[in-house]
Amino acid sequence: MSEDFENALSDALDHVAQAARPVGPDAARIRGRNRAMRQKIALSAVSLVLVAVGATTAFTLTSQHNGAPQLTSTTPRVTTSASENDSPSTAPTQTRTQTTASSPASSSPSDTGSNTSTSQSISADSHQVETAAWLSASEMPFASTMAWKSVSSSTISEQQLTTTVGYVANTTSYQALTVCGDPSKFLPQTVGAQVAAFDSTPASTGNNQATQYVFFFSNAAAAQQGYNWLRTQYTSNCSGITSTGAQVTQVGSEGSTGMAWLTQKASSGLPDLPMYEREYFVLRGDTIAYVSVTSYPHTLAKSYDDAGVLSTIAGHLCVYGGSCS
């Protein structure tokens, strides 16, 4: 292939030279120099062809061997995390496994810290009423005395969820909610609440009422914090009402998850304070249930089965989870 290339190049140069060939001794010297130059050019061209052919062959062999071009032996290799022998189903299988492991049921905040059996099956939602969470009229304290009957939720809340249960926003303005504690400081800790109420029968028995609230929190830790805050409000001061002669006494306790309080007004106490009010608080999961019995004209029994009431409330509230036996 080198001889053909050299002859062709020589012929081309001769053709150019023939176009203006000088005569005489000077012409002979010029032709000699041209011949030497053609030989040098031909040798250089052949060398370039051989180098190019060799480089192409080396590049082809390298590509076939390694699957990717490598210019020199010192070129850094770029590796991938997947092997050519990996099964195509590997990545999807990992994704499904991760999805199963992060199922919401396994990370529910209401299950945190539970060391007993739990009936957690419903997510606490302040706009969704769960019938199992509510005490019936016959389960309310002093039911045999007051013969409680349900009150329409349209008269006790701004938004009806059912005919007997209403929704309470955490921005709702209350003059009073629990006996001790400022509602404007407690409600904002919640994400909303639900309320149901009962009147005594017959109505001629006076101004008596039983009420149940369920306060909802963003998680179990927030609910515990809200419960702890309520406990700190039931002190010797208790929103200032004890200074009027009212007696606030703790009558029941379930450790860090339940408490009961009795408030009795003095004869010369505040006119808008009921004569008698019994309150129950129960913490479960990310909710707090609050049950109260209020009588403005009457003084009911000072001794009552408060432990039984707390247990009944806790049994209903377990629909939202928490530590339930």
Contact 287, 216 (CB under 8 A): yes
Q: Give the pLDDT score at 4.
A: 60
240: left (phi over 0), alpha (psi -120 to 50) or beta: left
The band of 163, judged by pLDDT with boundaries at 50, 70 and 90, is very high
Residue among 158, 178, 161 nearest 169 (CA): 158
User: Which 3 state secondary structure label does DSSP give 322?
Assistant: coil
Task: Taking residues 111-123, report their average pLDDT.
Answer: 44
Q: Give the pLDDT score at 31.
A: 52
Could you give the angle at which helices 2-19 and 25-66 cross, rounded to 10 degrees? 150
The band of 168, judged by pLDDT with boundaries at 50, 70 and 90, is very high
User: Which 3 state secondary structure label does DSSP give 126?
Assistant: coil
What top-level class would CATH report for the domain 112-320? alpha beta
Structure confidence by residue, pLDDT tens digits, 226-284: 999 999 999 877 878 888 888 999 999 988 899 999 999 887 777 788 899 999 999 99
Least confidently predicted of 35-49, 76-90, 287-301: 76-90
How many residues does the structure list for the chain?
A: 325
297 pLDDT exceeds 70?
yes
Of residues 173 and 19, the one with the higher pLDDT is 173
225: left (phi over 0), alpha (psi -120 to 50) or beta: alpha
Contact 206, 295 (CB under 8 A): yes
Contact 320, 288 (CB under 8 A): no
Percent of the chain with pLDDT over 90: 47
